[in-house]
Structure formats: C-alpha cells, structure tokens
Amino acid sequence: MAEPKTKYDRQLRIWGEQGQAALEKASVCLLNCGPTGSETLKNLVLGGIGSITVVDGSKVDVGDLGNNFMVDESSVGESKAKCVCTFLQELNAAVKARFIDEYPEKLIEMKPSFFSEFTLVVATQLPERSMVNLDRICRDANVMLVFARSYGLTGVVRLSVKEHTVIESKPDHFLDDLRLNNPWLELKRFSESIDMNVPDPVAHKHIPYVVILIKMAEEWAKSHNGSLPSTREEKKEFKDLLKSKMIGLDEDNYKEAVDASFKLFAPRGINSNLRQILDDNCAEVDSRSSDFWVLVAALKEFIFNEGGGEAPVEGSIPDMTSSTEHYVSLQKIYQAKAEADILVMELRVRNILKKIGRDPDSISKMTIKSFCKNARKLTVCRYRLVGEEFSSPSLPELQKYLTDEDYSMAVGFYILLRAVDRFAANLNSFPGQFDGEMDEDVSRLKSITVGLLTELGCNSSILTEDLINEMCRFGAAELHAVAAFIGGIASQEVIKLITKQFVPICGTFIFNGIDHKSQILCL
Amino acid sequence: MHTDIEIVEAEQTSIDCTMADSTANSRTRDLDKLLLRPGHLIGPNFEPGPELRDDLQEYAKVLVIGAGGLGCELLKDLALSGFKNLEVIDMDRIEITNLNRQFLFRLEDVGKPKAEVAAKRVMERVSGVNIVPHFCRIEDKDLDFYSDFNIIALGLDSVEARSYINSVACSFLEYDSEDKPREETIKPMVDGGTEGFKGHARVIIPGVTPCFECTIWLFPPQVKFPLCTLAETPRTAAHCIEYAHLIKWDEVHNGKAFDPDNPEHMQWVYTEALKRAELFGIPGVTYSLTQGVVKNIIPAIASTNAIISAACTLETLKIASGCSKTLSNYMSYNGVEGVHVKVTEFVRDKDCLVCGSGVLIELDASVTLKKFINLLEDHPNLHLSKASVTHQGKNLYMQAPPVLEEMTRSNLTRPLFDLMGQVARDTVHVTGMMSKNDKKMSGLRKLRVVFKGVDGVADMDSAGSA
C-alpha cells in the first residue's frame, strides 16, 4: 500500500494537511445518483472524502447507460444507488461508501431526521418543492447543503448554509502587508541604519526596495508637511525622485521600488471588507458565539488599541532584490512584529473567552496565529433559504440582471429552471420531455414563465422566445458533459465548505452551455 | 454496504418528476433531445435528425492528446457524448501522484502506459465505443496520422506540446484564391488546461479563430532565477533548492546527470538545500517544496479537470454537430473566489507563421533540396535546423529513422523544382528543430514555394527569398 500522502501530493499543495484532514473526517450524503450526482461524488472520492452515502430509489435503465459512466450493461434493472456506490468504492479504498435504495423525496417527507448525521448533503436533480423542504431540514439540523442540477445545456449550483466563515480565503492577488506608509519603530530604525549613498555599487544595488521606499517616503514627508504623495502629479514626482537615486542602469532594486510605490500610496488602516465584518452584529459576542466571532471581537479590540487602526502584521514579505543579509534581517523584523501582535491578540482572545464564560484555552494558539496572519482576508458568507429567495428575490438585483446583456441569458435560465418545475408540478412531465407535444409545451411554458415573472413584479416581455424554445428542446435531458461540468463545480464547492478554505459561491451559479457566459446571481 | 433505514411507505403521490421519459428507453435518450430536435440558438449547418446522431457515431473521429488529468475525463466525456471512434496518444506511464484525479487508473496500474489503461477502462464501461491507444510521443506520428481525425482535443500541460500539435493541425490548412480558408482543410482543435482551481478551455478553428501561436503571449515563459542570485544572494528557500539542483549537483557529481525521478537524487538536493539555507539563515526548505521546485510541479485537483474537460467536450460536440453555438473563442475559469467564468474573443494574428497562408519562399528552379534545407536554417523567420521535407504527402527528405534517411538521401542533390513535379508553386511541409527564446523545440512549418522565372511569377513579392 502506497503512502496516502504521496497519492494526494498534488492536492496537498493546495489545501494542505489540515484541509485534507477535514475532508477525511467529513461524511457526505448524495441525493439522486444520475450523472450530475455521480460525477460530483467521483471528484470527492478521488480526493479522499471520509464517507459517502448514495441515496436513489430508481433502477438503472438503458437510457442511463448513455449518460452515466458509473453504470454499465450489467447494471440494467439493478438499484442505481448500489451500482454507483460500487463503482465509487473502486476508486478509493480509503473512503467508506454505502447506499440507500430509496427516493430522496420520500426521505425528505417522511424521515427528515435522516439528514442530521451528515456533514454535508449534495442534492441533485431535485424539483423546487423538495429543494425548499430539504433546505429547511438541513438549516435546522445545521447540515451544509449543496444543490446541483443539470438541465439540457444549462444547470445550476446553489449552496445553502446559515453562515460560513473563512479564515484561510487564500486569494490569488492581495496587497503585501508591508506597512510602508506606517512603519513601526524597529522597521524605521532598520531603514535608518542603511546608507542609500553607499559608494560601493554592489551594495547600492542590493538595498531592498522596502528600505528605499520607507526612506524616501520620510524624505518626502519632511518637505510636504508630513504627508505622502497623493495626487497623480505627486506620485509621478515621487517616482522620478526614486529614479534620480539610481547610480547604474542595472539596479533592479530601484526598478522594483518604482513598481511597488503604489504599495506606499495605499491608504492606511483596514479595508472595507474587514470593516464590514468588524461592524457585524455577531462581533458582539456571548457564550453562544462561534470561535470565529470571538476572534473577530478580539481583532476589533486590537485594531482600536495596540494596532493603532491596523490589523496584526502578516509577517511574511515577498522576494525582492537584496543582499541575503538585508533580506533575512527584514524578514526577521516582520516576523518579530507578527509574533508580538499574535501575543497581544492571544491575551485579548483569552480575556474575552473568560468574560463570556468559556474556557480561556478553548481556542488554540495555532488558530489564533492563523487568524492573525489572515486577518485582512477574512470572509463571511451567509445564504438565504432557497424558499425565501424563490418567494421574494431581491427585485432590484433581478431587474438589473434582466436588463444587463452579460446576464440576460443566465437570468433567463434561472427563471426558466423555476418555470419548468411549475410546469412539471401541474402537468406531471417536463416541457419537451415527450416527443410530439413540442408546440403545445412551448406555449404552456411561455404562459407559466410570464405568470412567474409577473408574480415577481418583473416585466414579463423580457425573456426571449428563443430561450423558451431551447428550454423545451432540452426536455429535461441530463447530458453527460453538462453533468460533468455541474458536478465539477459542485464538488469544488463542497471542498471549499468542508476545508473552510477559499471562498465559496455566494449566490446562485447558472451554467450557460450555449456560449459559456455563465454567471453568479445574488438574489 | 447495507442500510438499516426503515422508510414508511408513502402513499402513491404524483408521478416522480426526476425520472426521465421511460418511453424513450434508448442509450441516446438524453443526447437525442439535442441532436434530433430543431433549435433556436444553434450553429450554422445544424441538420437535426437521427442521421446526424448516427453519422456522429459512425464517421466522426476524435483524437485525444494526453491521457492525464484532462485526457481521462475527455475520453469518458466524449464516449458519453455520442462519439464512438476515439484515439488517444500519451507517452507517460501511470504514477502514484496521478491517482487523486486520473480516475481511470488504480493503484495496481502504476507503471503501465496511461494511454493503454485509459482506453481499456473506458471501453469496458461504455459499450460500442472504440478507443485506439498510442503509447508514444506526439512527434513520433506522421502527418497522415493526424490528418485522419475530424477534431483534435488537447489535454496537455506543456506549451511546447500544444505548440507542436497546433502547428500540425494548421499545416493542413489551405487558402483559396481570395485568401479564405478552404473549409475541407480546416482541422478544428479544442484545448484545455488547468492549474489548481484555475483553468481554460478554448476552441481553435485554424484560419477562422486565432491559433495557439497567434496568442502565444497568453503563456508567458516560466521565470527562471538568475544564476548570480542563486550563487551569491540567495533569499528564499527556492533559491537554496535551485542552487543545490543547478549548481552544486554538477560541481560534485562530475558529469552524472541529475534525475528528478530518482529519490536518492532528490534527497541529495534536499539535504544540500537545507545546508545552504541554514548557512544563510533562510527558513522554509522542505522535501515537498524541493520536489515542487525541481520538478516544477503544478498542483492539480479532480474538480477543475472535470470542469475544463466537460467544457472542451461540449465544444467538440457542437463543432461536430452544430447543435448549439460554439464558444467564441476562449473561456477562462477561476474557482478560487466563488466561480468566475470569462469568455474572451481573441483575434487572429494576420501575420501568424503557423495559421497564415504559409511563409513564402522564392527560389531559382535550380536550387537543390540540400541547399533548400540549409536555407531554412538561416531564414530570419524560421530558424529551422535539421529539416525533413514532405510534398503532397511524399517524403522528399527525412532525417530519421535511418531507413527513411537512406531511402531519401539521394534526393538531396536533385533540384527541388524537379522533386516537386516541376510546378510553378506549391506548398511543402517541413519539420525540424526550431529555436525560440534560446530554447530548441521541434516544430512544423508550412511553406509556399514559388519558383522564379517559371509561369511568369517573377513579380511576386518575396517575403523570404534567400
């Protein structure tokens, strides 16, 4: 048996040992194992999810062989849940796989307590009524929920969790935390210790840009009443000043200083996203507050006191042209400041915990450390119940999407996916599901759609005939390629929710398989 | 695998809407909706009907390049999207680190050729599909092999390989007298790529949409650390690792090549990197990072590969059938923060050497094949050395294999004009080594050869006469 660590190497480089451990502890329930559900689970089983439970009451028929890789000829007539489960188990022996040969709708109606044992439920191909009911059940039981559905060339992924908080959001691009416009004493002293007019050209071209910018900012401030460059002209003047200090054309450190000068011009203090989190009602903590909000409460105190308006220093610096000695010294200065900030934060966290009647040691030092390092990137996602969204979507947003060319097709599909469920609830089949009734179905779907839009208070003439016709043509087909796409997105979001890393979709993802202009709608 | 759940039998309610139409009980139940019915948002030339579905199964031939993370998904997706004639080419063998995403492979398959195992597994599960595996390099196949396919799907992880296949597909392209691409010579490609939570899918219709080379700037060359940084001013863990890997190894092992797949070699680099890091007070050298830096490991997960392959397959189906509009022409995907899908319509590079009408070469009728080959090496736009030359599918000179070299060697001293059947102008294909940004890579170019003084073409503008 090979080391599991080796097998997971390529993903450990993304979500680390901690993320992997969270996955291996999680239990996921899948409702309906057509291609959309099967493909979702396949991606999770490969990644080493703890356990899966496949729920589906249907038998495999010949049609399933054309769109689902997890059933084959020998499965026809057998329980679909059993066949899919058997194949998934083959993919990864470390995963505990089981199945339940039952229709999800029945479980939702008759045995809601069934769902409370899971970390997360993936519900695929459910009609609106079952979605609404399941959502309430999972919300009450505090179980995370992901809806996924493929329908012809469109599809949808929607998450539902009361609140999902992320410490390690790991954004692609984020401003380095260098404090160039607000250096603390040790950083200032270090900068002062370096002579910018050193005659040795080798030494001159190895002064790190952090030092160059801090020194030049100070020089600038002296002649500008203590303020930094703010207008376009001033910024240009400052960059020219930097260039004038170069003594050779090959001085990469000065080029880096010019390129990085925007980091100096950035405003002091915290960003608006963090401000919003600090101002959240949940930041007023009591004994029922989650660890995350206790940490936010401590952060708030830190920023208003020791931080002087700033969050704890992150403690890492990007690579830059420098002598080894200067670079390592700088690294140590940032690290030392980060550690000092962590200590202060720790004290505050322990005090708050005591105040709200919890064990002061109930939040680990490691968590506090990670929280401080990521303080500027915290993320909070909250999801409405789908029932609420369906009965009262945000009207201004809806109007905006309907009139925005980039969104028109996506919002069209969003409305039509609801309309086909109404159609099916009334007529016991989806529009275009049977050959031969296309023309009637098109006009029926059209009037249902018009009714739905009017109910929502929207201009009903806004949806194009073409899209309604296409929706009928799709006839509720579950195409494998679309299912693989939707299943891919669904599994990715499950991973984000379980590892508590990265930022999940905050809204409804609508797949547009016609021109690939897929969108997220926040209603 | 057993359930102890007791479910109270519910009263028979309305028909279960999640079940599909049971009357259309055929393998193509879902696909038929798209292929048999007329649509409103469709591609040009869409002719719905059972014939379209059957033709797709019978005649459409798709080549999948790569049987890795994308390739495995592509084969499954294509097999379940109406395609029955597939071939796959991959030179690699299965490794343990593939198993977190390359779902057609099992632990006991480690060491076996990817193409063979992948083809076998898909054929086992999807009856009626035929997949021919090719366990070899893409350069090992000749033009005839590639010309046989209707569409090429690329599941690759290197710029060089994409560039090579692109030049092959574009080499078939011919333009008519009005400089419009001849439809029957267009070899469409779909290309996918992933890195962690990010990826892209694109459609390349040579002569119509930009080819890989038109937008080569989308793939900037990998940044290498300057040697003087490694040797004199290391600052990061990666600098220490590359010092051990690129400088120290050669100093110590006089002449023995470093093998990244040899664990002892990797361990040696790691230990040396650690020593250097300690010497300079640099934190962060780990074994995992050492492997990552030395092998340039790109993180990869199942979900992104599934998403990108699915998009590529959908586009393949659309190109082959016209059942919907095609992606125009580049989709970038980012799942780090929510999901961002962006479609960009890139434009062709009018002067592209690869998908354009071909580099014009003006020659005297007396120029021998040998002189022609030498000329390609010095050509300012080509820089093509060790060229092999084919004309209308006929090998004029082949550098390898030795049998062919010997067979064609005598042509070298003959005039190219005679070898090409004494026509005034025609296209020849040349393959060889091209140098680009100080890097050698194999490539293929299409050349329009015009002979001076024949058929009154002396007044043609000469883009590359010697």
Asked if pLDDT for residue B278 goes beyond 70, the answer is yes
Residue (of B18, B39, B123) closest to B323 by Cα position = B39
Distance from CA of B378 to the nearest CA of A (A): 33
User: Is B296 at the interface with chain A, CB within 8 A?
Assistant: no
Nearest residue to A127 (alpha-carbon basis) of A474, A423, A502? A423
pLDDT band for B223, please (50, 70, 90 cuts): confident
Minimal CA–CA distance to A59: which of A34, A78, A38, A31? A78
B402 cis-preceded (ω within 30 degrees of 0): no
Query: Scanning the structure block, which residue is given the tokens 């060089």?
Result: B160
DSSP-derived secondary structure for A27-44? EEEEE--SHHHHHHHHHH
Give the Cβ contact number of residue A381 at 10 Å.
18
Contact A125 B18 (CB under 8 A): yes
What is the DSSP secondary structure assignment for residue A407, as one 8-state letter? H
Q: What is the pLDDT of residue B437?
A: 66
pLDDT of residue B401: 85
What distance in Å separates the CA atoms of residue B216 and residue B220, rounded to the nearest whole number? 8
Question: What was the pLDDT predicted at B382?
Answer: 84
Q: Are A217 and A192 in contact (CB under 8 A)?
A: no
Sheet holding B439-451, edge to edge: B359-363, B439-451, B425-436, B384-391, B394-397
What's the helix, strand, coil split of chain B in %, to 5? 35, 20, 45
Q: What is the pLDDT of residue B177?
A: 83
Local confidence band at B24 (pLDDT 50, 70, 90 cut-offs): low
Q: Which residues pair with residue B452 across a beta bridge?
A: none
Closest Cβ opposite residue A470 in set B41, B306, B314: B41
The tokens for A166 are: 């992320």
- Count A/B contacts: CB-CB distance under 8 Å: 302
Average pLDDT over residues B318-330: 96
- Please list every residue in chain B whose beta carbon sits closer than 8 Å to the beta carbon of residue A6: 96-97
Name the residue in chain B with its Cα closest to that of A96. Answer: B1
Note the pLDDT of residue B458: 44
Q: Taking residues B92-113, what's their average pLDDT?
A: 96
**Chain A residue whose CA is closest to B240:** A324
A144-151 and A120-124: which strand pairing?
parallel
CB B356 within 8 A of CB B231: no
Nearest chain B Cα distance for residue A357, angstroms: 36
| Contact with chain A for residue B27, Cβ under 8 A | yes
* B1 has a pLDDT exceeding 70: no
Tell me what the mean pLDDT of segment B206-231 comes to: 90
Q: What domains lie within chain A, and their CATH numbers?
A: 4-162+479-521 (3.40.50.720), 185-265 (no CATH), 272-322+330-380 (no CATH), 389-474 (no CATH)
Specify whether B352 is catalytic: no
All structural domains of chain B: 50-220+300-344 (3.40.50.720), 227-294 (1.10.10.520), 359-451 (3.10.290.20)
pLDDT value, residue B5: 52
Please state the length of chain A.
523
State residue B357's pLDDT score.
Answer: 83
- pLDDT, chain B, mean: 89
Q: Distance of CA B21 to CAs B30, B138, B166, Å?
A: 10, 44, 43
Say yes or no for a CB contact (<8 Å) between B34 and A473: yes
Show Cβ contacts of residue B312 under 8 Å, excluding neighbours closer than 6 positions: B70, B74, B77, B153, B155, B190, B191, B192, B201
Please list, residue by residue across B426-447, b when 16 or more beta carbons sit within 10 angstroms of its beta carbon and e when fewer do. Answer: ebbbbbbebeeeeeebbbbbbb
pLDDT of residue A457: 87
Query: Which of B34, B38, B236 has the CB atom closest to A319's CB atom?
Result: B236
Q: Please, are residues B190 and B203 in contact by the beta-carbon 8 Å criterion?
A: yes
The residues with which B246 forms a beta bridge, in sequence order, are none
Considering only alpha carbons, which residue of chain A is nearest residue B300? Answer: A10
> Of the candidates A346, A338, A377, A366, which has an alpha carbon nearest to the alpha carbon of residue A178?
A338
Name the active-site residue from B17, B228, B352, B355.
Answer: B228
Give the pLDDT of residue A316.
94
The CA distances from residue A449 to A117, A359, A413, B378, in Å, are 38, 55, 11, 67
* Chain A residues touching B127 at Cβ < 8 A: 65, 72-73
For residue B355, the distance in angstroms to the closest alpha carbon of chain A comes to: 24
What is the H or E stretch that residue B426 is in? strand B425-436
- Inter-chain contact A430–B281, Cβ cutoff 8 Å? no
pLDDT band, very low/low/confident/very high, at B381 (cuts 50, 70, 90): confident
β pairing state of B61-65 and A519-521? unpaired
User: CA-CA distance, B281 to A332, in Å (whole number)?
Assistant: 10
Ranges A331-335, B382-386, B455-459, most confident: A331-335
* Residues B84 and B129: beta-carbon distance below 8 Å: yes
The answer, for B100 touching chain A at a CB cutoff of 8 Å, is yes
Do the bridges between strand A96-100 and strand A51-55 make them parallel or antiparallel, or are there none, so unpaired? parallel
pLDDT of residue A4: 59
Phi, psi for residue B79 in degrees, rounded to 5: -60, -30
B6, B12, B18, B304, best to mutate vs chain A, most A CBs in 10 Å? B18
Half-sphere exposure of A74 (CA within 13 A, CB side): 8
Q: How crowded is residue B171: how many other Cβ atoms within 10 Å of its Cβ?
A: 25
Distance in Å, alpha carbon of A400 to nearest chain B alpha carbon: 19
How does pLDDT run across B343-354, given as a tens digit for each residue?
Answer: 999 999 988 889
List the single residue in A with minimal CA-CA distance to B82.
A66
Confidence bin at B305 (pLDDT 50/70/90): very high
Q: Under DSSP, is residue A183 helix (H, G, I), strand (E, B) or coil?
A: coil
**B255 token code pair:** 């002449």
Q: What is the mean pLDDT of each run of 10 residues along chain A (523 residues)?
A: 75 96 98 98 98 98 96 95 97 96 96 97 96 98 98 98 97 93 95 94 95 96 93 96 91 95 93 96 97 98 96 96 96 97 98 97 97 97 97 93 92 96 95 90 95 87 88 97 98 98 97 96 95
DSSP string, B54-119: HHHHHH-EEEEE--SHHHHHHHHHHHTTT--EEEEE---B--GGGTTT-TT--GGGTTSBHHHHHH
Largest CA distance in chain B: 93
Distances (CA, A) of A345 to A259, A363, A367, B164: 33, 12, 11, 56
Find, in chain B, the residue whose alpha carbon is nearest to that of A84.
B1
Residue with tokens 């420098």: A322
- The region of weakest confidence among A224-238, A390-404, B10-24, B145-159 is B10-24
**Are β-strands A96-100 and A154-160 bridged in parallel, bridged antiparallel, or unpaired?**
unpaired
Return the closest-CA partner of residue A282 out of A269, A270, A265, A300.
A300
CB contact under 8 A, A516 and B331: yes
